Amino acid sequence: MSTIRLGDEAPNFTAQSTEGEINFHEWLGESWGILFSHPADYTPVCTTELGTVAKYKTEFDNRNVKVVALSVDGLESHKGWVNDINETQNTEVNFPIIADEDRKVAELYDMIHPNADSKLTVRSLFVIDPDKKVKLTITYPASTGRNFDELLRVIDSLQLTAYHKVATPANWNSGDDCVIVPSVANEDIPGLFPKGHTEVKPYLRMTPQPNLK
Ligand code: BEZ
């Protein structure tokens, strides 16, 4: 186990899941990916999280993002719990859940934080780009469910900034103005950003979001 940092290649693995055996890199293919862990099956916050992710399938599909969950419970436990998620969250779980009973993947991705819980995975989440590079890591404790609207917002920023020489300012949402990255010379701005720009300070140059009509 080693800490996974932004820009690292996402480690590959083969694991059993509710949708059969997964070779992670092959399963990702050309897509973006989210690998996220939760502490345990049949727990309340996790039930709401997985139900929420199932309801966001169209949002993930629109962004070319595949999602896979993980906990250190077994396959039969996962399958039984999925019925509860579907029933209580009024949805159909539509993504695989990895059964990581031997903690192979949890250890590979440093998802067990012994000073938080010696046995269970914390709420780790990794966003992986089509080159299999880690673009985002977040870690929440068991007591705090994640905000999946924020996750979509960050994915919008990651995908925009991967292809355009912009960064996104505080509280940015898709459609808002963006920051031109400092490495762009002033003379190159008109060619790169034909919608125009505003120089607030020499180091703070704003432009309309470049990938919108
Ligand atoms: C939950 O998902 O609700 C949960 C799991 C482990 C500890 C606390 C809460």
pLDDT in tens, 97-120: 999 999 999 999 999 999 999 999
What is the architecture, at CATH level 2, of domain 164-207? 2-Layer Sandwich (3.30)
Q: Is 159 left (phi over 0), alpha (psi -120 to 50) or beta?
A: alpha
Pocket flag, ligand 1, residue 16 (CB < 6 Å):
no
State whether the beta carbon of 154 lies less than 6 angstroms from ligand 1. no
Whole-number average pLDDT of the chain? 97
User: What per-residue confidence (pLDDT) applies to 1?
Assistant: 56
What superfamily does domain 14-146 belong to in CATH?
Glutaredoxin (3.40.30.10)
What phi, psi does 22 have (nearest 5°)?
A: -120, 125
Residue 213 confidence (pLDDT): 80
Residue 178 annotated among the catalytic residues of the structure: no
Look up the pTM and report it.
Answer: 0.96
Q: Is the CB of 142 under 6 A from ligand 1?
A: yes
Over residues 53-70, the mean pLDDT reads 98
Is 46's C-beta closer than 6 angstroms to any atom of ligand 1? yes
**Ligand 1 atom at minimal distance to the Cα of residue 44:** 3
Catalytic residue among 28, 46, 70, 72: 46
The domain spans of the chain are 14-146, 164-207
